Structure 1
Amino acid sequence: MDTSEIVKQMTQVFSNYEQAHSLLIDKWFELIFLTPRWWIGVALGIIPWLIWWKIHNKKYTGDLLRAGLFMTSISLILDSLGVQSGLWIYPYDVFPFIPGYFPWDLTLLPITYYNDGTYRNKAKTESYI
């Protein structure tokens, strides 16, 4: 197979992908955008950060954010691989152009880790007093 044939076939595949993605966006706007489940996803993406900012130990903000960034990176990579491999889907995406479930990967996993560490540290501190 020569180069021009490869380019032609890959261009056709990309064109098919573009059409499918356009259909996905159209259906997302029609069926999901601004529905109660969409609003729940948006709330799950914002409210935990606000709660964490209020209750976290300000002394360890940098350390917590670095650990959370690492956890977020790993979860985004693994979730993207799973979605793109067809192992699972998220029918109620908050944003259809981001693979994976945004509130889970960028909020719920790191915030759960942060709060777990915060409460464990408080429990250890209080047990020694």
Structure 2
Amino acid sequence: MENDKKIKIVGDIYEKVHHANNEYLDYWIENTFLHWDFWLSLALTLLPWILFIQFRKKESTNRLLFVGLFVIIFASWLDFLGVVCGLWYYTGKVVPTIPSYMPWDFCILPVFVMFLIQYKPDMKAYWKGLFFASVGSFIGEPLFKWLGFYVAIHWNKFYSFPIYFLLFMVCHRLSKVKHFEPIK
């Protein structure tokens, strides 16, 4: 059932992607690795988790990490789609092989959500969601754009607002899960 023509075409496309990745790796080693943008991105990768370890509510660690993992999966998947679709791209990356910006998707966003969930837990979730969406869309994205880490091509920060709001609301709901059924 193998289609030789299809295998050849997909193989040719893969070779182009592989070549582009190697070209970017060479560029990254020369122009990013151990430069100021690399060090700042590395700090933005480590600092949120250091703060989380220091200031989390220890009795809620598992619940918070469950929510944080959801943020990482959701944000990195959407970020990957945005990069692949040509909506934006990143410079100054810590790791050149991941198409998304690791400090934002794997560190800043999940830790920010986890801190908001643990801070004033009785506060209305939509207020926190509006705050999260506002900071992410109107402070975070423009700041990273100003730093030169984020280049929006076909994207506007106003598009991000409802996505960040929805992300927080889903995370808030996940944080309220009482228990999981045992595996039988």
TM-score normalised per structure 2: 0.62
Identity %: 32
Rounded to whole Å, the distance in 2 between the matches of 1:54 and 1:122 is 22
Q: Which structure is higher in helix share? A: 1
Rounded to whole Å, the distance in 2 between the matches of 1:67 and 1:92 is 27
Rounded to whole Å, the distance in 2 between the matches of 1:71 and 1:37 is 24
Q: Does 1:54 align with 2:54?
A: yes
Counterpart residue type for residue 33 of structure 1: F
Q: Does 1:11 align with 2:23?
A: no
Counterpart residue type for residue 58 of structure 1: K
Rounded to whole Å, the distance in 1 between the matches of 2:28 and 2:58 is 39
| Larger CA Rg, structure 1 vs 2 | 1
Rounded to whole Å, the distance in 1 between the matches of 2:120 and 2:26 is 46
Deviations 1:59-87 (A, max 9, x none): 11111110111111110111111011111
Aligned to 1:31: 31
The runs of 4+ residues in structure 1 deviating greater than 6 Å are none
Rounded to whole Å, the distance in 2 between the matches of 1:5 and 1:59 is 57
Counterpart residue type for residue 66 of structure 1: F
Rounded to whole Å, the distance in 2 between the matches of 1:17 and 1:55 is 42
Unpaired segments ≥5 residues, structure 1: 124-129
Aligned to 2:96: 96
> Which structure carries more relative contact order (alpha carbon 8 Å, separation 6+)?
1
Unpaired segments ≥5 residues, structure 2: 124-184
Aligned to 2:64: 64
Rounded to whole Å, the distance in 1 between the matches of 2:32 and 2:46 is 19
Aligned to 2:105: 105
**Aligned Cα root-mean-square deviation (Å):** 1.8
Aligned to 2:42: 42
